[in-house]
A and B are shown apart, each in its own frame.
Chain A
Amino acid sequence: MDFLNGITLIANYIIIPGLTYGSQLALGALGITIIYSVLRFSNFAHGEFMSFGAMSSILLSWLFLSLGFTLNPLPTAILVLPIAIVFTISYCIIIDKFIFKFYRKQNSKSVINLIVSIGVMFFTGGLIRFIVGPGDKNFFDGERFILKARTFKNITGLNEGLTLKTTQGITIILSVLLVILLFWFLNKTKTGKSMRAYSDNKELALLSGINPEKVVLITWMITGTLACVAGTLYGLDKSYKPFTYLHLVLPIFSAAIVGGVGNPVGAIIGGFVIAFSELIITFAYKKIFFYFLPINFVPEGLSQILSTDYKIAISFLILVLVLLIKPTGIYKGKII
Chain B
Amino acid sequence: MTNSSRIKIFYILMSMTLLFVGFFQSWNVALTIFNLCLISSIMTLGINIQWGNAGIVNFGVMGFAALGGLANIIISMPPTQNAWEAGGEIIIVGLLIFTLSIFLSIILFKKSNVNKRIKYLISFTFIISGYFIMRLLVDTPIEKIEAIEPAKTGYLGGFNLPVLLSWPVGALLAAFSAFIIGKISLGLRSDYLAIATLGISEIIIYFLKNEDWLSRGVKNVNGLPRPVPYEIELQSKEWVLKVSNYLDIPVTELSSIIVKLSYSILFCAVLLIVLFLLEIAVKSPWGRMMRAIRDNEVSANAMGKNIKQRHLQVFIIGSAIVGLAGAMLTTLDGQFTPVSYQPLRYTFLIWIMVIVGGSGNNFGSIIGGFLIWFFWVQSEPLGLWFISQITTHISDTNIIKSHLLENAAHIRLMFMGMILLIALRFAPKGLIPEVKR
Q: A residues bordering B, Cβ < 8 Å?
A: 41-42, 99, 102, 109-112, 114-116, 118-127, 129-131, 133-134, 246, 250, 253-254, 257, 301, 307, 309-310, 312-313, 315-317, 319-320, 323-325, 327
Of all chain A residues, which has the CB nearest B416? A122
Q: Are B199 and A118 in contact (CB under 8 A)?
A: no
Given contacts A111-B190, A129-B413, whether A312 and B420 have CB atoms under 8 Å apart is no
B202 within 8 A of A: yes
A-B contact pairs, 26 of them (CB 8 A): A41-B191, A42-B191, A99-B421, A111-B190, A115-B355, A116-B421, A118-B348, A118-B352, A119-B417, A122-B344, A122-B414, A123-B413, A123-B417, A126-B410, A126-B412, A133-B403, A133-B407, A253-B199, A254-B199, A307-B210, A309-B206, A310-B210, A320-B184, A320-B196, A323-B185, A325-B120
Assembled-state Cα–Cα distance A102/B428 (Å):
12
Q: For residue B348, which residues in chain A have a CB less than 8 angstroms away from its CB?
A: 118, 121-122
Q: Are A42 and B420 in contact (CB under 8 A)?
A: no
Q: Are B185 and A126 in contact (CB under 8 A)?
A: no
How many positions in chain B have a CB within 8 Å of any CB in the partner chain?
46
Q: For residue A120, which residues in chain B have a CB less than 8 angstroms away from its CB?
A: 417, 421
Assembled-state Cα–Cα distance A119/B418 (Å):
7
Of all chain B residues, which has the CB nearest A318? B199
Q: Are B195 and A250 in contact (CB under 8 A)?
A: yes
B275 within 8 A of A: no
Q: For residue B120, which residues in chain A have a CB less than 8 angstroms away from its CB?
A: 325
Assembled-state Cα–Cα distance A310/B425 (Å):
39
B188 within 8 A of A: yes
Chain B residues 409-437 with CB under 8 Å of chain A are 410-418, 420-421, 424-425, 428
Assembled-state Cα–Cα distance A134/B407 (Å):
8
The B interface, classified by DSSP as helix, strand, loop or mixed, is: helix
- Chain A nearest CB from B414 CB (Å) reads 3
Q: For residue B202, which residues in chain A have a CB less than 8 angstroms away from its CB?
A: 250, 312-313, 316
Q: B residues bordering A, Cβ < 8 Å?
A: 57, 120, 139, 184-185, 188, 190-192, 194-196, 198-200, 202-203, 206-207, 209-210, 343-344, 348, 351-352, 355, 403-404, 406-408, 410-418, 420-421, 424-425, 428
- Chain A nearest CB from B294 CB (Å) reads 12
Q: Are B417 and A317 in contact (CB under 8 A)?
A: no
Q: For residue A257, which residues in chain B have a CB less than 8 angstroms away from its CB?
A: 192, 195
B417 in complex: contacting residue of A112, A126, A307, A313, CB < 8 Å: A126
A119 in complex: contacting residue of B139, B190, B194, B420, CB < 8 Å: B420
A319 in complex: contacting residue of B199, B210, B352, B421, CB < 8 Å: B199
Assembled-state Cα–Cα distance A250/B347 (Å):
14
Q: For residue A129, which residues in chain B have a CB less than 8 angstroms away from its CB?
A: 407, 410, 413
B199 in complex: contacting residue of A119, A127, A309, A320, CB < 8 Å: A320
- Chain B nearest CB from A63 CB (Å) reads 15
Assembled-state Cα–Cα distance A42/B190 (Å):
10
Assembled-state Cα–Cα distance A115/B200 (Å):
19
Q: Are B407 and A123 in contact (CB under 8 A)?
A: no
Q: Are B199 and A316 in contact (CB under 8 A)?
A: yes
Assembled-state Cα–Cα distance A254/B203 (Å):
13
